[in-house]
Amino acid sequence: MANTPIWPGSSSFSPGNTPFGFYDNDAEFQTDADKVSVFCSRRLGYPLTDVELQDISFYAAFEEAVTTYGNEVYAFKASENYLSLEGSPTGSTINYKLQRPNLGAIVRLSEQYGEEAGVGGSVNWTQGSIALTSSVQTYDMNAWATSQGIEQGDLEIKEIFYQAPPSVVRYFDPYAGTGTDVQGLLDAFGFGNYTPGINFLLMPINYDLSKIQAIDFNDTIRKSNYSFELINNQLRIFPIPNRSGNLYFKYILKSDRNRATVSGSLGEGVVTDVSTVPYANPTYSYINSIGRQWIFEYTLALCKEMLGYIRGKYSTVPIPGSEVTLNQSDLISAATSEKTALIERLRSYLDETSRNKLLEKKAANSEFIQKDLSAVPYTIFIG
Q: d(Cα 46, Cα 303) in Å, to the nearest integer?
A: 13
pLDDT score of 175? 44
Structure confidence at residue 295 (pLDDT): 98
d(CA 84, CA 98): 12
Q: What's residue 1's pLDDT?
A: 43
Cα gap 139→133, rounded to integer Å: 10
pLDDT given at position 139: 95
Q: Once rounded to an integer, what is the mean pLDDT over residues 2-15?
A: 88
Under the banding of pLDDT at 50, 70 and 90, the label for residue 103 is confident
Say what the pLDDT of residue 269 is. Answer: 81
Top-confidence residue, 1 or 92: 92
Does residue 337 or residue 221 have the better pLDDT?
Answer: 337
Report pLDDT digits (tens) over 170-211. 665 444 444 455 555 555 555 556 655 555 566 788 877 888
pLDDT band at residue 319 under the 50/70/90 scheme: low
Structure confidence at residue 178 (pLDDT): 47
**pLDDT of amino acid 198:** 55
Tally the residues of the chain: 383
| pLDDT above 70 for 383 | no
Distance CA(77)–CA(81), nearest Å, equals 6
Question: What's the pLDDT at 177?
Answer: 46
Please write the tens of the pLDDT for every residue from 331-360: 999 999 999 999 999 999 999 999 899 989
Report the Cα 185 to chain-centroid distance in Å: 67
CA 293 to chain centre: 34
The domain ranges of the chain are 27-100+274-374, 111-257
281, 23 contact by CB (below 8 A): yes
Separation between Cα atoms, residue 66 and residue 59, nearest integer Å: 11
pLDDT, one tens digit per residue, over 116-137 is 887 878 888 999 999 999 999 9
pLDDT at 17: 97
pLDDT surpassing 90 at residue 2: no
Highest mean pLDDT out of 163-172, 259-268, 306-315: 306-315
Mean pLDDT for the chain overall:
85
**pTM for the whole structure:** 0.71
pLDDT score for 171: 60
**Confidence (pLDDT) at 323:** 62
Residue 4 has pLDDT above 50, yes or no: yes
The pLDDT of residue 176 is 44
What distance in Å separates the CA atoms of residue 274 and residue 77, rounded to the nearest whole number? 10
pLDDT value of position 8: 94
In this model, does residue 55 exceed pLDDT 90?
yes
- Give the residue, 100 or 380, on which the prediction is more confident: 100
Mean local confidence (pLDDT), 220-234: 83
Q: What is the pLDDT of residues 18-35, one digit of tens each?
A: 999 999 999 999 999 999
**How far is it, in rounded angstroms, from Cα 345 to Cα 335?**
15
Highest-pLDDT range among 141-145, 220-224, 368-372 = 141-145
57-66, 185-194, 372-381: range with lowest mean pLDDT: 185-194
Using alpha carbons only, what angle is made at residue 320 by residues 319 and 322, rounded to the nearest 5 degrees? Answer: 65
